[in-house]
C-alpha cells in the first residue's frame, strides 16, 4: 500500500499510474491489449450492464482474447444503456449503446476480431476540460 | 480480417432517421459497391451526434470531415469527390453562422459539441472504485496545490474569482459562503456535502457520486482547509445504495493512501469525512432541515438567520455545499479562476449538469456551459421530442420551479434568466412535455409531491398547499369556476410570502407559472369543460361512431360497469352517466369506432 506523505509523493504516484496505463496501452504486446469500460451507474445496472459485463468477460475468456474489462460511471447516454467504451490498440475509443448480450457478441465477433465497426456507435458529443 | 481505410458514419439518431438517414446509408453502400470500394470503405450507422437541427449528419473518418443536411442524392457526390478524389464537398460543410465561413479544417470539426464536461470530467472515464485511476487523472492535485502553495485566503479568493455559484439551486456564490464561514471564529467547524437529491427526475448528484466519488472527497478537504474545519459529513439519501457503497470504498481508499486522516501530504492539516444517511425527505435538502436531520432531530427547517455558517451542525459553524458544486472545485484550483470564468455568461460562470427526462429522445445526463439555450439542449443534445410530437413545455427546478413555454426556447440558461422567466435553475432536473401533457394536471402533480413532502411545521405550507391542490382537483374534474383562478393566484402568493422555508416559498411556482403561461388550458377546463390535451378523465367522453360500429359486442362484453348497450350487429351506445372512463372499450375496439371527445 502506497501511503502518500507529500505532494511530491502524490506527483510520483500520478506519474507511476499514468505510466502504468501507458504501459498497458503501449506495452510489449500492443496488438493484444483491448480495453473495455462498462458504464455501471444505477441507470446502467438497471438496464443490464452487469449481465453485459459478465458476458463480455466470459466470452472474451472463452475465445482466448486478452482484454481488460473494467467498470466506470455514467457516460450520460441514459437512453442507450447499457453503454460500453471499446478501445482497440492504437485506435481512438469508441462508445456503443444498447449493448445487450447479442450486441456484445456482435461487437466481439466483428469489431474486436475483424476490426470492423458495428452500427450503433455513439459519437462523443462533448468537450473535456483539456480541450 | 477486414482492413477498412475509411469509414462513413451516418447518423442514425431519431431526428436524422426521420430525414431518411436509412436511405442515405443504403445509397452510400450501393455507390461503394458499384465502384468496388466496399472492402475499403465501411458505412455504419451511429447514435445521435447532438446536432439534430442540421441533420442528417454524415461524418467521414479518418479525416474527420463533418457534412450537414445531407440528402440521399448527395451520397454519389461525396463518394466520387471526397472518397475517390479526396476533395471535400464544400456545399455540404457546416457554415459558421457568425463568420459565414465554411468549416473545412478537421481540427475545427468539434463545433457541434455543445457539451463541456467539468463536473462530470471523470464520470464514465475512470473506475470509481480505484483511487489510482483518479490520481492518474490529476486527482488530489488540487488539494496538494492548496496545502503546499496556497493560503486558505488565496484558495478562497480563487473560488470567488471563478464566479462559482451553488449548484443545488439557490445559486449563492460559493467562495463568499466559504469566506463567511472562515471568518466565524470557532475551534470546531464542519464541512457538509448535501447529497439529498430529492427533485423528481433529477439524478446528477447520484451520477457524480457513483462515477467520481473522489472528486467530492477532495473538494470537501479543500473546503475544510479553507474554512478551518477538520471534519466533513456527507448527507446522502439511503435510497442511493450504489452511491453510498462507492463513496464508502472511496473514503476507505483515501484513508489508506493518507489523503484523509492526520497530517495530510505531510502538512499539519487533518481532515476526515463521515457519512450520514437521510431517509429521503425532500425538505431535508434545505440546509437547516438537513442539519437537524444529521443531529438526529426531526428534519424541519428553522428560520435563517442564524445561517449555518454561523450556527450549524451541533451549533458550530458549518459550510453546506451541494455535490455538483464540490465537483467543480478541484479543476478550478488546478486550472485557475480565469479558465473557469471564461465559460458561461456574465453572472453565471461555468457549466451546469442537467438530467434530461420526459418526452425527449435522448434521455440522459448532460453538462452544458451556462448560456446554452433551451432549444440547443432540447433539440440538439436531447434529439427533439419523442414520436415527432409538438413541444409544449419544459419544467426546470423540480417542484420549486416552473414550466416554460416555446417562447423561452431561445433564452440562454443561467440563474437569472430562468428566475426572470418564472422558473429557476434548481438542482438541474429538466422534464420535457409534449402536446399530450395537460398543464393543469402537471401543476397538480407537483403539488401532490409538495403535499407529501411538506413537514407540516408552518401553516401556509401545510394547509395552503392542501387548499391549492383541492382547487386544482376541482378544475381537473370539470367543476372549476372562474373565481377559482383568482383564488389560486392569491393563495399562491400568500403561501410564497408567508412560508418558513424554501419548500413552501417555492411550492406554488408550478401553479403560478402554468397560470401565466397556459391560462388558456385552465380556461378550457373551466369554461368549456374540456381538457385540450385529453388527459383529464372526468372531462373526456367516450362515444361510439354509429357508422363504424359493426355491433360485434366486444365493447359491451368488456365494459366493467355495464354502461354499454345495443343489439348484436347494430351500433352500440355508451351511457355517459354510468361510464367511468376506464378506456377498456377504446382499447378493445377492432374497428376504431370509439372516439374520445
* SS3 of B293-350: HHCCCCCCCCCCCCCCCCCCHHHCCEEEEEHHHHHHHHHHHHHCHHHHHCCECCCCEC
Closest to B235 (Cα-Cα) out of B281, B186, B202, B203: B281
Binary contact (B210, A41; C-beta < 8 A): yes
Q: How far is A40 from chain B (nearest CA, A)?
A: 8
**Residues forming CATH 3.40.30.10 domain(s) in chain B:** 6-112
Binary contact (B9, A121; C-beta < 8 A): yes
CATH 3.30.565.10 fits B541-596, yes or no: no
C-alpha torsion B119→B121→B126→B129, nearest 10: -10
**Residues forming CATH 3.30.70.20 domain(s) in chain B:** 541-596
pLDDT in tens, B528-571: 888 888 888 888 888 899 889 999 999 999 999 999 998 888 99
Domain at B6-112: CATH architecture? 3-Layer(aba) Sandwich (3.40)
In this complex, the residue of A45, A74, A127 whose CB is nearest that of residue B123 is A74
Cα dihedral B388, B390, B391, B393 sign: negative
Q: How far is B75 from chain A (nearest CA, A)?
A: 18
Looking at the complex, does the CB of residue B365 fall below 8 Å from at least one CB of chain A?
Answer: yes
Whether A55 contacts A49, CB under 8 Å:
no
Q: What is the pLDDT of residue A25?
A: 55
Q: Which residues of B touch A21 (CB under 8 A)?
A: 136
Q: Give which of B7, B60, B211 to mutate to test A binding, by max A Cβ within 10 Å.
A: B211
Q: Which residues of B touch A115 (CB under 8 A)?
A: 1-4
Model ipTM value: 0.85
- Please state, in angstroms and rounded to a whole number, the distance separating the CA atoms of residues B13 and B26: 16
Q: How far is A78 from chain B (nearest CA, A)?
A: 4
The whole-model pTM stands at: 0.87
CATH 1.20.1440.230 fits B439-527, yes or no: yes
Please give the full DSSP string across B406-426, using - where no structure is assigned: GGGTTSBPSHHHHHHTT----
Binary contact (B148, A7; C-beta < 8 A): yes
Q: Which cell numbers hold the place of B425?
A: 435553475
CATH 3.40.50.11540 fits B131-337, yes or no: yes
Binary contact (A77, B59; C-beta < 8 A): no
* SS3 of B181-214: HHHCCCCCCEEEEEECCCCCCCCHHHHHHHHCHH
φ, ψ dihedrals at B549, nearest 5° = -70, 130
Convert B170-189 to b/e letters by CB count within 10 Å (16 or more is b): bbebbbbbbbbbbebeeeeb
**Residues forming CATH 1.20.1440.230 domain(s) in chain B:** 439-527
Q: Which ranges of B432-481 does DSSP label H, i.e. alpha helix?
A: 439-453, 459, 465-476
Binary contact (B257, A3; C-beta < 8 A): yes
Round to the nearest angstrom and report the end-to-end CA distance of chain B: 61
A-proximal residues of B, 534-553, CB under 8 Å: none
pLDDT, tens digit only, all 597 positions of chain B: 467 888 898 988 777 888 888 899 999 999 999 988 888 898 988 888 878 778 788 988 888 888 988 999 998 999 988 988 888 888 888 887 777 778 777 777 777 788 899 999 998 888 899 999 899 889 999 999 999 999 999 999 999 999 999 998 778 999 999 999 999 999 999 999 999 988 888 889 999 999 999 999 999 999 999 999 999 999 999 999 999 999 999 999 999 999 999 999 999 999 999 999 998 888 898 899 999 999 999 988 888 889 999 999 999 999 999 999 999 999 999 999 999 999 999 999 999 999 999 999 888 899 999 999 999 999 888 888 988 889 999 999 888 888 999 999 999 999 999 888 888 888 888 999 999 899 999 999 999 999 999 988 899 999 999 999 999 999 999 899 999 999 999 999 999 999 988 889 999 999 999 999 999 999 999 998 888 888 888 888 888 998 899 999 999 999 999 999 988 889 999 998 899 888 889 888 999 898 887
Convert B212-240 to b/e letters by CB count within 10 Å (16 or more is b): bbbbbbbbbbbbbbbbbbbbbbbbbbebb
User: HSE-up of A58 (CA within 13 Å, CB side)?
Assistant: 9
Q: How many residues does chain A have?
A: 131
Binary contact (A119, B335; C-beta < 8 A): no
Domain at B351-434: CATH architecture? Roll (3.10)
Contacts of B19 (CB under 8 A, 6+ apart): B55, B56
Binary contact (A126, B110; C-beta < 8 A): no
CATH node for A29-122:
3.40.30.10
The partner residues of B472 in beta bridges, in order of sequence, read: none
Q: Give which of B46, B112, B122, B363 to mutate to test A binding, by max A Cβ within 10 Å.
A: B46
**Chain centroid to CA B26:** 36
Amino acid at each position: 500500500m502506497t501511503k502518500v506523505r507529500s505532494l511530491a509523493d502524490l506527483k510520483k504516484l500520478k506519474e507511476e499510474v499514468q505510466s502504468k496505463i501507458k504501459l498497458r496501452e503501449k506495452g510489449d504486446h500492443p496488438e493484444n491489449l483491448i480495453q473495455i469500460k462498462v458504464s455501471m451507474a444505477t441507470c446502467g445496472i438497471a438496464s443490464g450492464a452487469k449481465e453485459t459485463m459478465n458476458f463480455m468477460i466470459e466470452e472474451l475468456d472463452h475465445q482466448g482474447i486478452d482484454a481488460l474489462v473494467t467498470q466506470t460511471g455514467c457516460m450520460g447516454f441514459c437512453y442507450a444503456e447499457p453503454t460500453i467504451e471499446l478501445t482497440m490498440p492504437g485506435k481512438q475509443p469508441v462508445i456503443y449503446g444498447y449493448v445487450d448480450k447479442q450486441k456484445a457478441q456482435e461487437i466481439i465477433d466483428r469489431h474486436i476480431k475483424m476490426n470492423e465497426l458495428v452500427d450503433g456507435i455513439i459519437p462523443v458529443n462533448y468537450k473535456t476540460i483539456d480541450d | 480480417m477486414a482492413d477498412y481505410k475509411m469509414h462513413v458514419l451516418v447518423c442514425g439518431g431519431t431526428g436524422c432517421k426521420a430525414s431518411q438517414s436509412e436511405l442515405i446509408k443504403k445509397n452510400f453502400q450501393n455507390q461503394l459497391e458499384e465502384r468496388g470500394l466496399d472492402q475499403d470503405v465501411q458505412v455504419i450507422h451511429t447514435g445521435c451526434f447532438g446536432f439534430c437541427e442540421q441533420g442528417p449528419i454524415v461524418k467521414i473518418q479518418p479525416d474527420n470531415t463533418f457534412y450537414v443536411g445531407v440528402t440521399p442524392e448527395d451520397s454519389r457526390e461525396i463518394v466520387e469527390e471526397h472518397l475517390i478524389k479526396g476533395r471535400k464537398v464544400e456545399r455540404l460543410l457546416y457554415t459558421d453562422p457568425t463568420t459565414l465561413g465554411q468549416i473545412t479544417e478537421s481540427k475545427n470539426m468539434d463545433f457541434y459539441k455543445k457539451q463541456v464536461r467539468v463536473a462530470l470530467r471523470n464520470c464514465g472515464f475512470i473506475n470509481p472504485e480505484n483511487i489510482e485511476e483518479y490520481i492518474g487523472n490529476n486527482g488530489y492535485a488540487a488539494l496538494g496545490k492548496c496545502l503546499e502553495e496556497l493560503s486558505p485566503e488565496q484558495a478562497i479568493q480563487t473560488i470567488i474569482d471563478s464566479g462559482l455559484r451553488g449548484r443545488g439551486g439557490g445559486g449563492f456564490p460559493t467562495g463568499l459562503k466559504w469566506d463567511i464561514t472562515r471568518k466565524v471564529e470557532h475551534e470546531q467547524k464542519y464541512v457538509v456535502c448535501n447529497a439529498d437529491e430529492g427533485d423528481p427526475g433529477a439524478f446528477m448528484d447520484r451520477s457524480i457520486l457513483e462515477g467520481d466519488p473522489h472528486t467530492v472527497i477532495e473538494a470537501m478537504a479543500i473546503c475544510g482547509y479553507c474554512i478551518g474545519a477538520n471534519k466533513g459529513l456527507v448527507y446522502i439519501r439511503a435510497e442511493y445504495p450504489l452511491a453510498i457503497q462507492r463513496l464508502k470504498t472511496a473514503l476507505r481508499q483515501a484513508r489508506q493512501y493518507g489523503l484523509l486522516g492526520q497530517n495530510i501530504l505531510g502538512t499539519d492539516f487533518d481532515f476526515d469525512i463521515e457519512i450520514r444517511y437521510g431517509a429521503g425527505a425532500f425538505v431535508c435538502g434545505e440546509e437547516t432541515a438537513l442539519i437537524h436531520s444529521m443531529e438526529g432531530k426531526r428534519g424541519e427547517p428553522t428560520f435563517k438567520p442564524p445561517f449555518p455558517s454561523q450556527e450549524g451542525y451541533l451549533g458550530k459553524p458549518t459550510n453546506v455545499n451541494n455535490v455538483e458544486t464540490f465537483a467543480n472545485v478541484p479543476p478550478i484550483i488546478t486550472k485557475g479562476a480565469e479558465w473557469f470564468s471564461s465559460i458561461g455568461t456574465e453572472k453565471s460562470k461555468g457549466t451546469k449538469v442537467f438530467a434530461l427526462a420526459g418526452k425527449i429522445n435522448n434521455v440522459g445526463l448532460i453538462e452544458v456551459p451556462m448560456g446554452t439555450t433551451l432549444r440547443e439542449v432540447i433539440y440538439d443534445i436531447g434529439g427533439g421530442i419523442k414520436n415527432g410530437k409538438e413541444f409544449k413545455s419544459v419544467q426546470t427546478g423540480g417542484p420549486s420551479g416552473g414550466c416554460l413555454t416555446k417562447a423561452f426556447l431561445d433564452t440562454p440558461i443561467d440563474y437569472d434568466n430562468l428566475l426572470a422567466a418564472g422558473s429557476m435553475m434548481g438542482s438541474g432536473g429538466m422534464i420535457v412535455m409534449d402536446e399530450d401533457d395537460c398543464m393543469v394536471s402537471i401543476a397538480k402533480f407537483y403539488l401532490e409531491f409538495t403535499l407529501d413532502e411538506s413537514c407540516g411545521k408552518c401553516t401556509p405550507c401545510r394547509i395552503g398547499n392542501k387548499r391549492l391542490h383541492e382547487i386544482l382537483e376541482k378544475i381537473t374534474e370539470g367543476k372549476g369556476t372562474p373565481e377559482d383562478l383568482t383564488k389560486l393566484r392569491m393563495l399562491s402568493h400568500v403561501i410564497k410570502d408567508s412560508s418558513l422555508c424554501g419548500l413552501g416559498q417555492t411550492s406554488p411556482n408550478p401553479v403560478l407559472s402554468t397560470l401565466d403561461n397556459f391560462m388558456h388550458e385552465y380556461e378550457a377546463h373551466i369554461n368549456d369543460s374540456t381538457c385540450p390535451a385529453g388527459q383529464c378523465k372526468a372531462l373526456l367522453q367516450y362515444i361510439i361512431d354509429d357508422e363504424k360500429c359493426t355491433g360485434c359486442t366486444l365493447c359491451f362484453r368488456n365494459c366493467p360497469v355495464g354502461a354499454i348497450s345495443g343489439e348484436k350487429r347494430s351500433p352500440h351506445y355508451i351511457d355517459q352517466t354510468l361510464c367511468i372512463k376506464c378506456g377498456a372499450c377504446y382499447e378493445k375496439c377492432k374497428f376504431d369506432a370509439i372516439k374520445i371527445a
